[in-house]
Amino acid sequence: MHAVRTCTMGLVSSSAIALLLLLSLSFIFVNGGVPTTLDGPFVPVTVPLDKSFRGNAVDLPATDPRVQRIIEGFAPEQISVSLSATYDSVWVSWITGEFQIGDNITPLDPETIASVVQYGIYGLPITDEATGYSLIYNQLYPFEGLQNYTSGIIHHVRLTGLKPNTLYQYQCGDPSIPAMSEVYYFRTMPVSGPKSYPSRIAVVGDLGLTYNTTSTVSHLMSNHPDLVLLVGDVSYANMYLTNGTGTDCYSCSFSQTPIHETYQPRWDYWGRYMQPITSKVPIMVVEGNHEIEQQAENQTFVSYSSRFAFPSEESGSSSTLYYSFNAGGIHFIMLGAYVSYDKSADQYEWLERDLAFVDREVTPWLVAAWHPPWYSTYKAHYREAECMRVEMEDLLYEYGVDIVFNGHVHAYERTNRVYNYNLDPCGAVYITVGDGGNREKMAIVHADEASNCPEPSTTPDEYMGGFCAFNFTSGPAAGKFCWDQQPDYSAYRESSFGHGILEVKNETHALWTWHRNQDMYNNAGDQIYIVRQPDRCLVEPKVPK
């Protein structure tokens, strides 16, 4: 059902307001004083930088046993599960065979190894079997001295006809060799409905593969998520030359390279390290700038698009760079910031269609995610995604998106409800979690601090070639490019590594908790109930295009 949303600030009855206040107060009382967005907008808070804590943001070496290849022959490795568009289907992915890197590489033949998953409900015999497809990809450079790469055989198998909220056991591989994996387990999502939600959804961005990453993943695992959202910047393989030499700043260290190189084995290291979680907890990934990885013939995003399975086709998308899916009563929209997003682009037209068919009676919550934030007050990447915001924000506001998750900026920030830089009770809450633990520097400088406002000319969308960030024409920052103090839309910001957990409780209340790596995993660095007000922020039905 297509819908248009309006904010009816003066049309709600006093009894409805009283009921909402009573409901919110009951949540506060029961849950130990956790604030809700109904208590906002909040006075902006900046947590002072803890200079004693940087963590060990050093990449795991290839010699670390957690990233080494421990299987033999064509046994499966780098096993992962991802969701299809609905609860009754999931994807299982894995890799067989060894990668090759060097001057002379001979790609493996995907046709030589079958793609089979044998599965069944936990506690019952494994009687079901599904087959899929396989591929290899190459990372090739037309420059002398650069080493080329060819992957192992990547397998993707879609399981269908699954029961909701059910624990399944599975093995993957080629039973004819035989080369099958051990038995692993995953749980399907709940059926989509207004009272049906996964218990915990972990959200993390800019993860990388450092000792800090290991702390983030350990904390994340301790929170027992049912689903993981990774909002871009996965392995940081492009922080390396093809000879394996890495750096904290590619452009600083390798300014003379003929192309932005990437050391693809870091992807294999990442897949091996993450297998203990990705083999049992579905992971949904959207691309970041570190996944661009340009190579010969201007190909981009090849590793990202090859290694992960996406519900693109199931959600009507023609691209791995944007798609949607349901997780219980939540509809997730994963958008691509590094593919055309203007109103005449395929992505925008797909987004309009996708939103048009969201039934808020079935999936009350609408959550969007992409990599670079629209609302960030840090100097790093300040207003870099402004062109995307100009093109798409009206559409997301019109359809009542509740929460937006982003990465890219290596810090944490949560906004008040905001639309077009103005506080708006019907705007989305924007949350930046680009603090997963990669080896690049943490963002600590704020654009609103003295002498830190960047020059507008330094803030274009370099990859998409757009520039839309001009001086503000109204509000507290009228005539300026930055605020003179922390903007009123910024509720909380802190520079620290960590991850977040989203727990949707019912049709109107969702608990958001951000965990810092330096704390015990069950401590909250930031916590709030995000409350929907469907009676106040109306989404009016409209016939889909």
Tokens of 4: 């248009």
Whether 434 contacts 233, CB under 8 Å: yes
Whether 225 contacts 203, CB under 8 Å: no
Name, in order, each residue with C-beta under 8 angstroms of 523's C-beta and a sequence gap of 6 or more. Answer: 515, 516
Tokens of 142: 């037309």
CA distance 69 to 510: 40
CA distance 324 to 354: 8
Q: How is residue 303 annotated by DSSP?
A: H
Name, in order, each residue with C-beta under 8 angstroms of 412's C-beta and a sequence gap of 6 or more. Answer: 432, 433, 435, 492, 493, 494, 495, 496, 498, 514, 525, 526
User: 3-class secondary structure for 368-406?
Assistant: EECCCCCCCCECCCCCCCHHHHHHHHHHHHHCCCCEEEE
Closest to 119 in 3D by CA, of 198, 172, 79, 197: 172
Q: How is residue 469 annotated by DSSP?
A: -
Whether 371 is catalytic = no
CA distances from 164 to 160, 187, 490 (A): 11, 8, 38
Catalytic-labelled residue, pool 155, 371, 381, 515: 381
CA distance 514 to 502: 9
CA distance 47 to 524: 14
Q: Is 522 left (phi over 0), alpha (psi -120 to 50) or beta?
A: alpha
Name, in order, each residue with C-beta under 8 angstroms of 475's C-beta and a sequence gap of 6 or more. Answer: 421, 422
Residues designated catalytic: 381
